[in-house]
Amino acid sequence: MIATVWRVAGVSFSLVVVLCAVLLYGSTPDQAAFLNSQVGELTIGFAVRTDDLTVLLLAVVGVIATCVQVYSLGYLHQRPASYHALVTLFTAAMVIVVISDSLFFLLIGWEVMGACSYLLIGHYWERRDARSGAVKAFLMTRLGDVGFLFGIFVLGLGAGTFRISQLDPARISPGVLTTGTLLLLVGVVGKSAQVPLQTWLPDAMPGPSPVSALIHAATMVAAGVFLIARMYDVFAASTTTLTVLAIVACVTMLFAALCASAALEVKRVLAWSTVSQLALMFSALSLRTADGRHAALFHLVTHAAFKGLLFLCAGVLLHQVGSAAFVVLRRYTRRGRLRKALRVTFITMTIGLASLAGVPGFAGFFSKDAIIEAAWEHARDGSTVGWIVLVSVCLTAALTAFYCVRLWLWVFFRTPALAGGIGAFEADDALADLDEPDTSKLRDAPWLMLAPLVLLAIGAIVLGYVDGVHLNWAIGLISTALVVLGALPAYSLWRRGADPRPVVLEREFGVDPAYRGLFVVPVRRLAKLTVAGDRDVLGGYVSAAGRTGTLVSQGFRRLQTGNVQTYLTAAVIGVVALAVLAGVIGS
């Protein structure tokens, strides 16, 4: 009963968000403040605003949330009602971030999202990896949020206001501006899983797939990009911050793309690709041009469509096959069943991957080209940052095509050369020949789950054209060439049934073990030391005091002989002694 109520509430809330976006579309930008309180010379309160950016993000959040909520009806119909309630809260928190005009109001939404993502990633609480992934996500985003909070303080105090629309970079001294934006950047890096706080996003994969779709497409990680776009004037005023952002983004996009090309699970590939694509948006933002900002937001929208689509497809694979690991999927593919049984999923996932890889004609192609074009124009003006971004984006485009094709071919197609023989993943799978999967029961998901897929697949194509096609043919050709360049090695490797995975990539550059050695182990040691100090030193004193009391009382107990006359004697002696003492003192 409660679950039904929450399902209805969740779907209708998302629809209301979409409706708001539709109603606000084209209206003049407006803002309102309420519940203000005066603290010294500062005004702290809530404020909301509506402008183009708000409407755009509201539409994205609303559509993705509707898809996810509807999809979840089929995906998680036997799980507790808290799931739908949390997804709704998650969406609402993102809406708060999007509409708020007060830094503190924004912080509330920002933190509620962190809490919701923790609870939703740990939704399958009975699984150990889900629990530890949730804790990891929470701790790493919290680490970033500390920087975010102090960034708000620094900027707000420096500018004398906490209203985003009134933050005027010209009125803030450069030092304060740089410090404040760098601190905000720490929060953004944590929330959007950029280097060096990137490891939580791939480890959040044990969460339910619709939640992953929501986190990766519309909320949480997109909040970082949104924040920089929202406060673009402030960020653009600090060259240092944008340079740092560019470096972080370039390192992240290559790092994540390399990790994605060695990952062994569909969802993990997608998670790393999200990190990489977000870095693409950040690199566009770091160019400090209006084109760059526009390209970043364009990519945010198209990415929301195709990444939401891909995660929902991965959810269908998980739901119907029971696993999204390449090894397990290959057992079905080897017998040629997967593609035929899951026809709709196959087609929509192909569209999603094509869009992600940037195949001409799909939405991702146009938005990626917009970023490359913005970077090229910036680089042509003689900017080093522009050149770095341009080279990294091009490399990332090729790598993206590589891992998309690798994923697509290995998951859905029999290797022709081997004709069902032993390929790379079968060689890893000890159960490949022993375990004959029951392919007869494999069929596509219910239409409740497929409808959002179809809707998002249409979005993953059409969204590229809504902005009007401003294609620079030279750049379009280059990026197509890059896609082919990335796709060919993947194809030839797959044809030979080989999947060479360098150890360093498979271990994701050893970042996790390094963090473990650097932070986790020392903290554990310190904790043990603290426990030992508490138990053995402080506790020693406490129990020694107790034992002394007991020992002394053991001695005093012997005085209680039960003989009245002994007591009286003691009393008389005491009285006499007191009298003598009084006499001595008195004289």
| Residues near another protein (CB under 8 A) | 550-551, 554, 557-558, 560-565, 568-569, 572
Can you name the residues that pair with 102 across neighbouring β-strands?
A: 163
**Residue among 533 and 549 whose Cβ is closer to another protein:** 549
The smaller minimum CB distance to another protein, of residues 469 and 572, is found at: 572
Q: Which is nearer to another protein, 545 or 551 (CB)?
A: 551
And the tokens for 504? 């360093």
Task: State the nearest-atom distance from the C-beta of 553 to another protein, in Å.
Answer: 9
* Alpha-carbon span 529 to 525, nearest angstrom: 6
Q: How far is the CB of 537 from another protein (least distance, A)?
A: 23
Give min distance, CB of 544 to another protein, in A.
14
Helix (H, G, I), strand (E, B) or coil at 362: coil
Q: CA 107, CA 102: separation in Å to the nearest integer?
A: 9
Which of 74, 72, 117 lies closest to 97 in space, CA to CA?
117
DSSP 36: E
CA angle 307, 514, 213 (to 5 degrees): 15
Q: With respect to another protein, which residue has the nearer C-beta, 39 or 564?
A: 564
Q: Smallest distance, Å, CB 183 to another protein?
A: 56
Measured from the CB of residue 587, what is the shortest distance to another protein in angstroms? 20
Question: How many Cα atoms within 13 Å fall on the side-chain side of residue 104?
Answer: 16
Query: Least distance from C-beta 555 to another protein, angstroms?
Result: 12
The answer, yes or no, to whether the previous bond of 489 is cis (omega within 30 of 0) is no
Distance CA 40, CA 46 (A): 17
* Rounded Cα gap, residues 209 and 108, in angstroms: 26
Tokens of residue 205, six digits: 């994969």
If the CB atoms of residues 441 and 558 are measured against another protein, the closer one turns out to be: 558
Give the length of the chain. Answer: 587
Dihedral of the alpha carbons of 55, 60, 66, 71, in degrees to the nearest 10: 180
Q: Which is nearer to another protein, 469 or 568 (CB)?
A: 568
Q: How far is the CB of 525 from another protein (least distance, A)?
A: 36
Between 554 and 587, whose beta carbon lies closer to another protein?
A: 554
Question: What's the start-to-end Cα distance of the chain, in Å?
Answer: 92
| Distance in angstroms (rounded) separating the CA atoms of residues 368 and 311 | 20
Amino acid present at 419: A
Shortest Cβ 574–another protein spacing (Å): 13
Type and span of the H or E element at 586: helix 564-586
**Toward another protein, which CB reaches closer, 466 or 542?**
542
Nearer to another protein, 520 or 542 (CB): 542
The 3-state DSSP class for residue 94 equals helix
Strand duo 30-39 + 42-50: pairing: antiparallel
CB of 563 to another protein, least distance (A): 6
